[in-house]
Every structure is written in structure tokens, then in C-alpha cells.
Amino acid sequence: MTGVMVVTGASRGIGAATARLGGKAGYKVCVNYLGSADRAEALVEEIRKDGGTAIAVQADTGNDADVVRLFETVDTELGPLTALVNNAGVLGGEHRVDEADAEHLAELWRVNITGYFLCAREAVRRMSTRHGGKGGAIVNVNSVAAKLGGRDRRAHYAASKGAGNTFTVALAKEVAEEGIRVTGVMPGLIDTDFHAPYGRERIERLGAAVPIGRYAQPEEVAEAVLWLLSDKASYVTGTMLEVSGGR
């Protein structure tokens, strides 16, 4: 299935790779971004030069009004939604649980959990046969940290991604008879800006410890996302696909 795709947090990393691949697959792509307008617009230009259709829309996915505006813009400029990739997320820093505070945790939940709910809400309102839609697919980008508990000082991040996994399964059951499939990917160690603050030495060292012997590129996760969105995965819903090199 191709059609219209929204990718949140698409100005870089896994989101950008997914938007780029979606454009090549024939989707009309909405590149959502929060603050990196230059990167988002450059990606849109790249997709257009390859013969695709794309727009960039700024929106904070944890803000209700922004999310409504994002999807209304897509309605107007691209047409009926058929695919959502919930990808926008934050790490929330690194700290032990005994160093946590409510303010920072609330911001993490707002983006990594509430944001997924809000975007999925708007997608379901458009794609569900219950609402007059023609069906579609949602892929939630979570993390293998949900299974492993995250590395030291990242329990908060792992917990938010665990919530994303549970949400994926619950929503899949809720809309299974309404023409919508809901799945998720759980990336492992991926070479993105997420790791930039910690330097190349760290990702190289961690990559060597992965059973497959290396870290992955964002495109390897994007390929999994595009498969889950496609008709080739027509009997797949309510499940998480690990892209983690065996971790």
C-alpha cells in the first residue's frame, strides 16, 4: 500500500531515512520536524528531486493543537492519510532513578508517550472504516531498551519505550476490525545524532559488543518500517519487530 505518509521527527536519523525511502516507494510524504527547519526542507527537496512528493510541517507532537494542525495540513496539501510512522522522541538525558525529578519525567512522557497517542488519534480518525476511512497502517518506532531496560542511567527512557510497546499492542487490537494495522519496530544501536553527545568512540565500542558485531545505519530500520507499512505485511499487526543485531 502506498498513499500519504506522515513521519514524525523526520528531519534526521531513522525518521529521515524512513521519509526518504517512503518517497522512493511512492508515498506522498510529510516530513514533520520540531526545530530543524533547514534539515527538513533539505530532505523535502531531496525527495522531490528523486521524483517524489513531500512537504515539511513544523509541529511539537506532544502538543495537542500542533498535532491537529499537522494532520489538517496533510489533509489539505497531500490528501487522505494511509500511513503514520510515530518516530519523534527524546532521550531525556542520563541519570539514575534516585536523581530523577517530576518535571523532566513529565517532559519525557509528553513527547515519547503522549505524542504517540495524539498522532495515532489523528491517524485513526482519518484511516478507520468506523470514521469513513479506507484503512491504513501505523508503525511506532520504539527501542530494544524496552526489553533490555536501557543502559545504565536510562531507566526513564526504557520505561517510556516500554509504554510504546504496550500502546502498540493495545491499539492494534482496538482498530484491527477497522482496516488499520498497528505494529512497531525496536531498533538497537543505530548510528544517529542520538549518540552524538557521547562521541564516536562510544558507539564504536558498543557496536563491537552487539552479537552481529556492529551498529546499524538508519536505513536498515527504515527498510523494516516500510515493510511493515506495506501490503506484504498484510497479516502482521500488534507485534514488535526487533532491528537490533541480536541484542
The amino acid that residue 214 corresponds to is R
pLDDT at 167 (0 to 100): 98
Is the pLDDT assigned to residue 151 strictly greater than 80?
Answer: no
Q: Between 152 and 119, whose confidence is greater? A: 119
pLDDT at 199 (0 to 100): 67
Confidence band, pLDDT 50/70/90 cuts, at residue 196: low
Q: What is the pTM of this model?
A: 0.94
pLDDT at 6 (0 to 100): 98
pLDDT at 193 (0 to 100): 75
Is the pLDDT assigned to residue 194 strictly greater than 70?
Answer: no
Averaged pLDDT, 4-25: 98
The whole-chain average pLDDT of the chain stands at 95
Report the alpha-carbon distance of residue 180 to residue 203 in Å, rounded. Answer: 36
Report the alpha-carbon distance of residue 135 to residue 128 in Å, rounded. Answer: 5
Is the pLDDT assigned to residue 195 strictly greater than 70?
Answer: no
Structural domains of the chain sorted by starting position, each given as residue range(s) with its CATH number in brackets? 4-188+221-243 (3.40.50.720)
Sheet holding 180-187, edge to edge: 53-58, 28-33, 4-7, 83-86, 136-141, 180-187, 240-243
pLDDT at 23 (0 to 100): 98
**Is 33 an active-site residue?**
no
pLDDT at 197 (0 to 100): 63
At 198-242, the pLDDT tens digits run: 667 777 888 888 998 998 899 999 999 999 999 999 999 999 999
Is the pLDDT assigned to residue 247 strictly greater than 90?
Answer: no
Is the pLDDT assigned to residue 18 strictly greater than 70?
Answer: yes
pLDDT at 230 (0 to 100): 97
Is the pLDDT assigned to residue 87 strictly greater than 60?
Answer: yes
pLDDT at 206 (0 to 100): 81
Q: Percentage of residues in the chain with pLDDT exceeding 70?
A: 97
What secondary structure, in 3-state letters, does 137-165 show?
Answer: EEEEECCCHHHHCCCCCCHHHHHHHHHHH
* Residue 67 CA: distances (Å) to CA of 64, 125, 160: 5, 13, 20
pLDDT at 215 (0 to 100): 84
Averaged pLDDT, 240-246: 95
Residue written as cell 513529565? 106
Residues in Cβ contact with 111 at an 8 Å cutoff, skipping those fewer than 6 apart: 61, 62, 88, 89, 90
Selected catalytic residue, list 33, 157, 198, 215? 157
At 29-76, the pLDDT tens digits run: 999 999 999 999 999 999 999 999 999 999 999 999 999 999 999 999
